[in-house]
Structure 1
């Protein structure tokens, strides 16, 4: 006999009949009608070619074959039930798991100080690593569990992914205190007449801002860099401007003696989201990581 020929519900009825020994009692415990249980028993008799239960004054007595089947069927059903209801657990206080987060260097600057403080108290043995969210194989890496979550504007993560909005990223213009535009209204003309340091970050929300700016005019880009890490240092000692996210400007203005003003061009805000693969939607460890990333960004 092939397993595909067996309806699991028939075995559930069999187990209740073994326990209750009466069709009426088995039906009541299963929430079924007596005819439904009788019909199930009839199907089982045909499939197994045995009477299985004989009516007696004491109730439904199992045949030797039914008695032989009782223990393995009960074991199998209990194993299936346990497996279906078993949930993995995650204890951040004792876990030594290593998580990988995909994000830009802006995300690292904005998130990591607060996130590491959080881990120090809640998950002292958990470790983190970051990778760039411009990886060509990011979707595959997240599906395989090699990358746990991703942060940013990542349009390629669509089918098979969940996402949650973290914040709207607005752009400003940043420069050193005492720059010739300091204290003056920064117009579009003054913006394009100035010298610029430009961050080239393909495949990110910042790249979209650059496209909009270039559609309005041509900047004198004296320097292009692949990340934001050095922008604060560069602006503090030069007469260049930079178009940067407002959150970055707020964090770097004080340490580097910089100022920032609303951007003279109508740049739309960019939605920055948290992404995770549907495969890990109910994974307790992934759920915990998503929660603390969200709370760290919005806090």
Structure 2
């Protein structure tokens, strides 16, 4: 028999009939009329090609086939009932779950220290794994549940995704202490004449900022391209190069690497940093909990 042809309500009535052995008693307990229960029994007899229950002096007695079906049907109905009555939940303090979050290395520098402190306090058994948020498979990985959240400016995540703004960031010029630009006003001319190191972050907001800088009639002198921010502090500390970076990164890097920064002389747009998640997991308790924690930590910060 094809399950598509089976009404779940028929199994509920079957289970009640088997328990009570009476059409009238089953109807009363289910809040149905006797004709409704009798009609359901007729439909079941036709679908299963068996009498199922026979009238005797002791009431409605199950046939051998009905007796065989009774236990698995009762088990299945009980399982469904428990599942619907007990909505899924997430207990952070007891969880051993691994969450995967897509972000840039800049996001790791900015977000991971406070996030890991919060996880250590609230969910010590939880593990966090990061992947890059500009990889080609990100959309499919998030739909499949292999990546729980993505953070950044990620224009390719639109249809089928929710997003929430965390904060805005603007850009500054970063260089070493004692640099010829240190202590002076950074003009547009001096910016383009300086020696530059550029972080290439394809598919992110940083990429768009560099497009604006390079669209001007002036041309900057780029001596070095790097694919990430990790080495930038070391590079700037030991050279006369300058870099265009988000102010948050400049704040984090200035003291450890002996760096300075100035307002950017080029009018650059603020970049919105958003958190993304797939619609399939919008109500998944663990995903909800991690989103709420990240938003609480970084929203408007």
Distance 2:197 2:251 in 1: 18
Match of 1:78 in 2: 78
- Output the CA distance in 2 between the equivalents of 1:99 and 1:126: 8
Distance 2:249 2:234 in 1: 13
CA distance in 2, matches of 1:3, 1:55: 31
Q: TM-score with structure 2 length normalisation?
A: 0.80
State how far apart, in whole Å, the 2-side matches of 1:221 and 1:139 are. Answer: 33
2:293, 2:118 → 1: CA distance?
Answer: 8
1:258 CA displacement: 3.1
Aligned to 2:249: 248
Following superposition of structure 1 onto structure 2, how do residues 1-299 of structure 1 map, counting pairs within 5 Å? Answer: 1-18=1-18, 30=30, 36-37=36-37, 39-47=39-47, 48=49, 50=51, 52=53, 61-62=60-61, 64=63, 68=67, 69-85=69-85, 89-217=89-217, 218-298=219-299
Q: Secondary structure at the match of 1:50?
A: coil
Q: Partners in 2 of 1:215 and 1:258 — Cα distance?
A: 28
Structure 1 residues 3 and 128: alpha-carbon distance in aligned structure 2, compared to 1, 3 A threshold: closer
Secondary structure, in 3 states, of the residue corresponding to 2:266? coil
More divergent stretch after superposition (142-151 vs 65-74): 65-74
Look up the SS of the partner of 2:51 in the other structure. coil
Deviation track 1:161-198 (CA, whole Å, cap 9, x = no partner) reads 33322222222222344544445443333322222221
Q: TM-score, normalised by structure 1?
A: 0.80
Alpha-carbon offset, residue 128 of structure 1: 2.8
Where do 5+ consecutive residues of structure 1 fail to align?
A: none
CA contact (8 A) 2:170 2:247 kept: yes
CA gap 1:34/1:162 in 2 versus in 1, 3 angstroms: farther
Could you tell me how far apart the structure 1 residues matched to 2:91 and 2:273 are?
28
- Compute the displacement of 1:245 (Å): 0.8
Q: Distance in 2 between matches of 1:226 and 1:282?
A: 36
Give the secondary structure class of the aligned counterpart of 1:156: coil
Cα 1:66–1:32 change in 2 (3 A) is farther
Secondary structure (helix, strand or coil) at the match of 1:244 reads strand
Task: Report the alpha carbon displacement of residue 231 of structure 1 after superposing the two structures with TM.
Answer: 2.2
Structure 1 residues 71 and 257 mapped into 2: Cα distance closer, same or farther (>3 Å)? closer
Q: Which moved more, 1:272-281 or 1:195-204?
A: 272-281
Tell me how many residue pairs correspond in the alignment. 297
In the alignment, the residues of structure 1 paired with residue 54 and residue 202 of structure 2 have an alpha-carbon distance, to the nearest angstrom, of 72
Residue pair 1:52, 1:66 contacting (<8 A) in 2 also: no
**Superposition deviation, residue 207 in structure 1:** 0.8
Structure 2 vs 1, CA of residues 67 and 117 (structure 1 numbering), >3 Å: closer, same or farther? same
1:28 shift after superposition? 6.4
1:185 to 1:84, Cα distance in 2 relative to 1, 3 A: same
Matched position secondary structure for 2:242: strand
Change (3 A) 1:75 1:130: closer
Once the two structures are TM-superposed, the CA of residue 237 in structure 1 deviates from its matched residue by: 4.1
Change beyond 3 A, Cα 1:192–1:15: same
SS of residue paired to 2:239: coil
Unaligned runs of at least 5 residues, structure 2: none
